[in-house]
Amino acid sequence: MKSLFISCLLFFCVQVSNAQVRFFQGTWSEALTEAQKQNKILFVDFYTTWCAPCKLMTKTTFADTNVGDFANAYFIPYKVDCEKGEGVKLAEKYEIDSYPSIYFIDKNGNIIQKEIGYKSVQEFLKILQKQKN
């Protein structure tokens, strides 16, 4: 009985983790390399830890099943804390001055589109669909 419970719990955890946006883990250079390898656009969430709309977007929009499925299939999602590590230089390079800032960046590091501020699930799905086309 105990092993059945653990199996069910693990299955549920895997299902939940697949439902949300899976942000690429690695350096900026590695994210660009992955975008080149997969021939995909990066969608970059430039955020800070103190930003309430950033936290809300992570909790709601990026956790949504439809957003996660679409973003994971067609983009390389990447998060950048603009106050830590290489995030400071990336925030300067891309002139980030509002949070959250969602940038769509091609595999060469060029900006395709900028979206500033909190986006609901429906708003963000429309943005993602537009960028895919």
pLDDT one-digit tens code per residue, 31-78 = 999 999 999 999 999 999 999 999 999 999 999 999 999 999 999 999
pLDDT of residue 132: 83
Mean pLDDT of 80-100: 97
Residue where the block lists tokens 């979206």: 115
pLDDT computed for residue 75 by the predictor: 97
Share of the chain above pLDDT 90, in %: 84
| Residue 42 DSSP SS3 | strand
Q: How far is CA 44 from CA 2, 8, 76, 90, 91, in A?
A: 41, 34, 8, 11, 11
pTM, rounded to two decimals:
0.83
Q: What's the residue count for the chain?
A: 133
| pLDDT tens per residue across span 13-36 | 444 445 699 999 999 999 999 999
Q: Secondary structure of the chain: what % helix, strand, coil (to 5)? A: 50, 20, 30
Q: Name all domains of the chain by residue range, CATH numbers in brackets.
A: 21-132 (3.40.30.10)
- Cα-based angle 30, 32, 33 (whole degrees, multiple of 5): 60
pLDDT score recorded for residue 18: 56
Residue 5: pLDDT over 80: no
